[in-house]
Protein backbone atom coordinates (compact mmCIF):
# COMPACT_ATOMS: atom_id res chain seq x y z
CA UNK A 1 0.00 0.00 0.00
CA UNK A 2 1.29 3.44 -0.92
CA UNK A 3 0.38 6.30 1.35
CA UNK A 4 -0.03 9.77 -0.17
CA UNK A 5 2.33 11.78 2.00
CA UNK A 6 0.86 15.05 0.72
CA UNK A 7 -2.55 13.95 2.03
CA UNK A 8 -0.96 13.02 5.38
CA UNK A 9 0.72 16.42 5.58
CA UNK A 10 -2.50 18.23 4.65
CA UNK A 11 -4.54 16.50 7.35
CA UNK A 12 -1.90 16.81 10.06
CA UNK A 13 -1.52 20.51 9.23
CA UNK A 14 -5.10 21.05 10.45
CA UNK A 15 -5.81 22.13 14.01
CA UNK A 16 -9.26 20.73 14.89
CA UNK A 17 -9.35 17.01 14.23
CA UNK A 18 -12.21 14.64 14.97
CA UNK A 19 -11.65 10.95 15.65
CA UNK A 20 -14.77 8.96 14.75
CA UNK A 21 -14.97 5.62 16.53
CA UNK A 22 -13.04 6.58 19.65
CA UNK A 23 -14.44 5.43 22.97
CA UNK A 24 -13.28 5.38 26.56
CA UNK A 25 -12.68 1.63 26.46
CA UNK A 26 -9.06 0.99 27.41
CA UNK A 27 -8.45 -1.25 24.37
CA UNK A 28 -9.99 1.23 21.89
CA UNK A 29 -7.26 2.45 19.55
CA UNK A 30 -9.28 5.54 18.64
CA UNK A 31 -8.86 6.60 22.29
CA UNK A 32 -5.09 6.22 21.88
CA UNK A 33 -5.15 8.36 18.72
CA UNK A 34 -7.14 11.08 20.54
CA UNK A 35 -4.72 11.06 23.46
CA UNK A 36 -1.59 11.18 21.29
CA UNK A 37 -2.90 13.96 19.05
CA UNK A 38 -3.93 16.05 22.07
CA UNK A 39 -0.50 15.51 23.62
CA UNK A 40 1.02 17.04 20.48
CA UNK A 41 -1.09 20.19 20.57
CA UNK A 42 -4.04 19.28 18.37
CA UNK A 43 -7.59 20.26 19.28
CA UNK A 44 -9.15 16.79 19.20
CA UNK A 45 -12.79 15.78 19.51
CA UNK A 46 -14.10 12.22 19.76
CA UNK A 47 -17.25 10.90 18.10
CA UNK A 48 -18.93 7.66 19.14
CA UNK A 49 -22.66 6.87 19.18
CA UNK A 50 -22.70 5.61 22.78
CA UNK A 51 -19.68 7.13 24.55
CA UNK A 52 -20.12 10.34 26.56
CA UNK A 53 -16.45 11.00 27.18
CA UNK A 54 -13.05 9.90 25.92
CA UNK A 55 -9.95 10.38 28.01
CA UNK A 56 -11.86 12.84 30.21
CA UNK A 57 -13.09 14.99 27.32
CA UNK A 58 -16.65 15.20 25.93
CA UNK A 59 -17.56 12.76 23.19
CA UNK A 60 -20.32 13.46 20.68
CA UNK A 61 -22.73 10.94 19.12
CA UNK A 62 -22.13 12.05 15.51
CA UNK A 63 -20.19 14.54 13.41
CA UNK A 64 -23.14 16.93 13.09
CA UNK A 65 -23.18 17.44 16.87
CA UNK A 66 -19.50 18.43 17.15
CA UNK A 67 -19.27 22.11 18.14
CA UNK A 68 -17.12 24.46 16.11
CA UNK A 69 -15.29 23.84 12.86
CA UNK A 70 -14.06 20.39 11.84
CA UNK A 71 -10.84 20.63 9.87
CA UNK A 72 -10.19 16.93 9.43
CA UNK A 73 -11.72 13.58 10.32
CA UNK A 74 -9.86 10.40 11.23
CA UNK A 75 -12.21 7.49 10.60
CA UNK A 76 -11.61 4.63 13.05
CA UNK A 77 -14.76 2.59 12.41
CA UNK A 78 -14.99 -0.69 10.50
CA UNK A 79 -15.04 -0.55 6.71
CA UNK A 80 -18.80 -1.22 6.40
CA UNK A 81 -19.47 2.00 8.37
CA UNK A 82 -16.76 4.19 6.82
CA UNK A 83 -18.82 5.40 3.83
CA UNK A 84 -21.52 6.76 6.14
CA UNK A 85 -18.94 8.69 8.17
CA UNK A 86 -17.41 10.14 4.99
CA UNK A 87 -20.86 11.18 3.75
CA UNK A 88 -21.47 12.96 7.07
CA UNK A 89 -18.08 14.68 6.83
CA UNK A 90 -18.77 15.78 3.27
CA UNK A 91 -22.14 17.21 4.33
CA UNK A 92 -20.29 19.38 6.87
CA UNK A 93 -17.79 20.58 4.25
CA UNK A 94 -14.82 18.76 5.80
CA UNK A 95 -11.88 18.86 3.40
CA UNK A 96 -9.57 16.21 4.90
CA UNK A 97 -10.30 12.61 5.85
CA UNK A 98 -8.10 9.74 7.00
CA UNK A 99 -9.41 6.20 6.56
CA UNK A 100 -7.48 4.37 9.29
CA UNK A 101 -5.93 1.03 8.60
CA UNK A 102 -3.86 -0.79 11.15
CA UNK A 103 -3.08 -4.47 10.94
CA UNK A 104 -6.58 -5.34 9.65
CA UNK A 105 -8.92 -3.72 7.14
CA UNK A 106 -9.88 -0.84 9.42
CA UNK A 107 -11.90 1.93 7.78
CA UNK A 108 -10.31 1.64 4.36
CA UNK A 109 -13.31 1.04 2.12
CA UNK A 110 -13.47 1.61 -1.67
CA UNK A 111 -16.91 3.25 -1.44
CA UNK A 112 -15.68 5.65 1.27
CA UNK A 113 -12.72 6.63 -0.94
CA UNK A 114 -15.02 7.27 -3.92
CA UNK A 115 -17.35 9.41 -1.80
CA UNK A 116 -14.46 11.41 -0.35
CA UNK A 117 -12.83 12.03 -3.73
CA UNK A 118 -16.20 12.93 -5.25
CA UNK A 119 -16.65 15.53 -2.50
CA UNK A 120 -13.22 17.01 -3.27
CA UNK A 121 -11.67 15.84 -0.02
CA UNK A 122 -8.00 15.12 0.50
CA UNK A 123 -7.92 11.44 1.51
CA UNK A 124 -5.35 9.39 3.39
CA UNK A 125 -6.12 5.87 2.23
CA UNK A 126 -5.06 3.59 5.04
CA UNK A 127 -2.12 3.58 7.43
CA UNK A 128 -2.12 4.65 11.04
CA UNK A 129 -1.67 8.26 12.18
CA UNK A 130 0.74 7.06 14.88
CA UNK A 131 3.24 6.26 12.13
CA UNK A 132 3.45 9.97 11.27
CA UNK A 133 3.58 11.61 14.69
CA UNK A 134 6.80 12.66 16.35
CA UNK A 135 8.11 10.88 19.42
CA UNK A 136 6.06 7.72 19.03
CA UNK A 137 6.96 4.35 20.47
CA UNK A 138 9.24 1.87 18.76
CA UNK A 139 6.32 -0.21 17.47
CA UNK A 140 4.99 2.71 15.41
CA UNK A 141 8.46 3.58 14.11
CA UNK A 142 8.94 -0.07 13.13
CA UNK A 143 5.53 -0.09 11.43
CA UNK A 144 6.58 2.98 9.40
CA UNK A 145 9.85 1.28 8.39
CA UNK A 146 8.08 -1.93 7.43
CA UNK A 147 5.84 0.09 5.14
CA UNK A 148 9.02 1.62 3.71
CA UNK A 149 8.01 5.19 4.45
CA UNK A 150 10.84 7.69 4.87
CA UNK A 151 11.51 8.98 8.37
CA UNK A 152 11.03 12.50 7.00
CA UNK A 153 7.27 11.86 6.91
CA UNK A 154 7.04 12.41 10.65
CA UNK A 155 5.12 15.65 11.29
CA UNK A 156 4.51 18.01 14.15
CA UNK A 157 1.59 20.42 14.38
CA UNK A 158 2.47 24.06 13.83
CA UNK A 159 1.62 24.86 17.46
CA UNK A 160 4.19 22.36 18.72
CA UNK A 161 7.03 23.51 16.47
Q: Which pTM does this prediction carry?
A: 0.84
Number of separate domains in the chain:
1
CATH number of the domain that 99 lies in?
3.40.50.720
Would you say residue 157 lies in a domain?
no
Domain boundaries, position 33: 5-147
- The string of DSSP letters for 24-85 reads S-TT-HHHHHHHHHHHTT-EEEEE-SS-SEETTEEEESSGGG--S---EEEE-S-HHHHHHH
Residue 57 within any structural domain of the chain: yes
Tens digits of residue pLDDT in 138-147? 444 444 444 5
Which pLDDT score, from 0 to 100, does residue 153 have? Answer: 45
pLDDT of residue 160: 43
Q: Which pLDDT belongs to residue 134?
A: 67
- pLDDT (tens digit, 9 = 90+) per residue, 57-108? 999 999 999 999 999 999 999 999 999 999 999 999 999 999 998 766 689 9
Amino acid sequence: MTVDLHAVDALLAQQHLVVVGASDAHANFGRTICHELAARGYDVTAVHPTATSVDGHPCYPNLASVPGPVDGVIVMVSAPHAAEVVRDAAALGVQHVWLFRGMGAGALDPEAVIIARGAGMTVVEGACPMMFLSDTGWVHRLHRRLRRLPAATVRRPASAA
